[in-house]
Amino acid sequence: MNSSEENCISISIAYVQIDAQLAATVAAVIDEGSFDAAARRLHLTPSAVSQRIKALEQQLGRVVVVRSKPVRATEAGEALVRLARQVALLEHETITAFGLSPDDTGETRVRVPLAVNADSMATWFLAPIARVAQQHDIDVDLHRDDQNYTARLLESGEVMAAVTSESTPVGGCRVEPLGVLEYRPMATPEYLARWLPEGATPDALARAPFVDFDRRDELQHDWLRGHGVDPWSVPRHYVPASYDFAQAVRLGLGWALIPVVQGVEGLVDLGGPATRVPLYWQQWNLRSPLLDAIAAEVAAEASRALAPLR
């Protein structure tokens, strides 16, 4: 280099090019929960699936799945699952843009994993999803969890979008308000006559059994705390299914907070203000006509079924 030339520093950056097929294999293993089930879905042998995973782990120099039952993704594996889902979504939309269908190209239908809380699924969420499925070649994969936890499934790459109570967007996602799911504390007249004859007083509530959805559901617990009652000292029945949960209340098993949109015929309100749970739609921040179509249908249905945010 002569004196008239500027001194330059050459920097060599090594990078890893990830095979989309290998990333898709990781996603299949996580979706199906085992190497054998993933092999059936991919039309491979379990040995071939294992070899693909090992090859990818050797390439990356880190473990991507935990060989447990069911199989779990490591942090590196979660990144691969997100990559696989995004590639599959983009491929699907490219095919659609050419006016083709998966049958025309030999490609499989795109799987769309979504997370939703149980009460939304039982009351208003399935109708907009069904409308989208009638218009697009998709396989919907619904993951049910408490609205306080569905955003975690977005973070892990397990789902593409979620109904959540979190208004702060997960990294790489955007958020839109949906509305408020309102709950009322309900019980049968017979239950009230036996357990709460003087009304929902703290002493009576401390003895009266209630119905709990599961050990992650805090709605009934928060309501009891608001009435000065320690929820952990109160008898409870666990009924982890939305229809059966409401049915347990109608059969007099206990009181519970029931979504207003689910219907409360034959039940009596324990009184007090409604419990309001704001819901939001979070989805990957991609330019995706398919995800946008799902979001539009979900928002339209939510505007009809949910109370407005205020």
Q: Which of 73, 88, 108 is the last residue of a domain?
A: 108
Section 188-194 average pLDDT? 97
Residue 89 lies in a domain: yes
Q: Which of 57, 73, 108 is the last residue of a domain?
A: 108
Answer yes or no: is pLDDT of 11 > 50.
Answer: no
Residue 153 lies in a domain: no
pLDDT of residue 12: 40
Q: Which one is predicted more confidently, 108 or 73?
A: 73
For the whole model, what pTM was predicted? Answer: 0.77
Residue 290 lies in a domain: no
Section 119-125 average pLDDT? 94
Q: Which one is predicted more confidently, 207 or 105?
A: 207
Section 250-255 average pLDDT? 96
Residue 6 lies in a domain: no
Q: Which residues pair with 22 in a beta bridge?
A: none
Pair 308, 203: CB distance under 8 Å = no
Q: Which residues pair with 257 in a beta bridge?
A: 185
Work out how many domains the chain is built from and give that number.
2
Residue 113 lies in a domain: no
Residue 123 lies in a domain: no
Q: Which of 86, 108, 130 is the last residue of a domain?
A: 108
pLDDT of residue 257: 96
Range of the domain at 267: 182-277
Helix ranges, 183-288 (H): 189-195, 202-207, 219-226, 242-250
pLDDT of residue 264: 77
Q: What is the pLDDT of residues 90-113, one digit of tens each?
A: 887 777 666 666 555 455 678 899
β-pairing, 72-73 with 65-66? Answer: antiparallel
| CATH code of the domain containing 58 | 1.10.10.10
Mean pLDDT of the chain: 88
Answer yes or no: is pLDDT of 4 > 50.
Answer: no
109-136 residues labelled b (16+ CB within 10 A) or e (exposed): ebbbbbbbbbbbbbbbbbebbebbeeeb
- Alpha-carbon distance of 198 to 100, in angstroms, equals 67
pLDDT of residue 99: 62
pLDDT of residue 89: 84
Residue 55 lies in a domain: yes
Whether the link from the prior residue into 308 is cis, omega within 30° of 0, is no
Section 30-56 average pLDDT? 93
pLDDT of residue 171: 86
Q: Which one is predicted more confidently, 215 or 224?
A: 224
| CATH code of the domain containing 233 | 3.40.190.10
pLDDT of residue 6: 42
- The token duo for 187 is 């019980």
pLDDT of residue 188: 97
Say yes or no: 100 and 186 in one domain. Answer: no
> Which residues of the chain form beta strands (DSSP E)?
65-66, 72-73, 110-116, 138-144, 161-164, 173-187, 210-212, 236-238, 256-259, 268-269, 275-284
Residue 172 lies in a domain: no
- Long-range contacts, stretch 242-249, CB < 8 angstroms, 24+ apart: 242/118, 242/119, 242/121, 242/122, 242/123, 242/213, 243/122, 245/211, 245/213, 248/211, 249/186, 249/187, 249/188, 249/211
Say yes or no: 271 and 188 in one domain. Answer: yes
pLDDT of residue 8: 42
